[in-house]
């Protein structure tokens, strides 16, 4: 599989570098019981890209380690698919048992490096009433491309600066490996809820 081959290559290139700083002190990592264990070559947490969240803070995906993650790529000014996609993630979230919901991170990564500034993402958070269980990220075009390629998300910027894109929901397990992917809008929540339950450490 292409994705896995790429990740294998990434992993071997980066063997010399620690995948995760044990002394990062980031709140989400402190509770991870296996934070020091090596990541597999299928883990997206091997990626070194630095993203920016909607508060302007720098974030590496590896900081999400230790909990289930539900991730989708989007752009804030999308008027059709992305609002439905976010609603789909909300439906998954609503279907989780309270304890699992509290442990699961919902992550939206923007395609739109021009318009989705931290402030624009913050406004989007407010507009869609996304609470602290959601992380909204923006990044450099090369990092967006790399993540999209590894997830299998296809996207293209049009002349107006908007994007056509696949609608893909990805569930990552606690180690950042893809546990389940769901393509398309308005899918059932059952398989995602089960995958998240299995992904919970
Ligand atoms: Cu969209």
| pLDDT tens column, 111-120 | 999 999 999 9
The model carries a pTM of 0.83
Burial 90-113 (b: 16+ CB within 10 A, else e): eebbeebeeebbebbbbbbbbbbb
Q: 185: CA distance to ligand 1 center in Å? A: 11
More confident: 197 or 5 = 197
Q: 142: CA distance to ligand 1 center in Å? A: 19
Domain regions of the chain by residue span:
2-29+39-199
Q: 64: CA distance to ligand 1 center in Å? A: 24
* Mean pLDDT to the nearest integer, 176-198: 95
Tokens of 143: 């990092």
- Under the banding of pLDDT at 50, 70 and 90, the label for residue 7 is low
pLDDT reading at 3 higher than 80 = no
Q: CA–CA separation, 12 vs 42, rounded Å?
A: 11
| Chain centre to alpha carbon of residue 51 | 11
CATH number of 2-29+39-199: 3.40.30.10
Q: CA–CA separation, 185 vs 88, rounded Å?
A: 7
Report pLDDT for 37: 80
* Mean pLDDT to the nearest integer, 153-178: 96
């Amino acid at each position: 599989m292409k994705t896995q081959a790429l990740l294998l290559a990434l992993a071997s290139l980066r063997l010399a570098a620690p995948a995760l700083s044990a002394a990062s002190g980031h709140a989400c990592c402190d509770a991870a019981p296996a934070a020091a264990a090596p990541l597999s070559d299928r883990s997206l947490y091997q990626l070194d890209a630095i993203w920016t969240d909607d508060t302007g803070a720098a974030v590496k995906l590896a900081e999400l380690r230790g909990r289930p993650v539900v991730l989708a790529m989007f752009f804030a000014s999308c008027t059709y698919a992305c609002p439905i996609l976010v609603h789909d993630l909300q439906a998954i979230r609503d279907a989780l048992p309270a304890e699992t919901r509290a442990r699961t991170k919902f992550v939206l990564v923007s395609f739109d490096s021009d318009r989705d500034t931290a402030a624009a993402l913050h406004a989007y958070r407010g507009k869609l009433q996304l609470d602290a269980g959601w992380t909204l990220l923006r990044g450099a075009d090369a990092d967006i491309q790399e993540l999209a390629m590894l997830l299998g998300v296809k996207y293209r910027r049009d002349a107006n600066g908007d994007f056509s894109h696949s609608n893909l929901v990805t569930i990552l397990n606690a180690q950042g490996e893809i546990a389940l992917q769901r393509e398309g809008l308005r899918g059932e929540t059952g398989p995602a809820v089960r995958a998240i339950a299995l992904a919970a450490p």
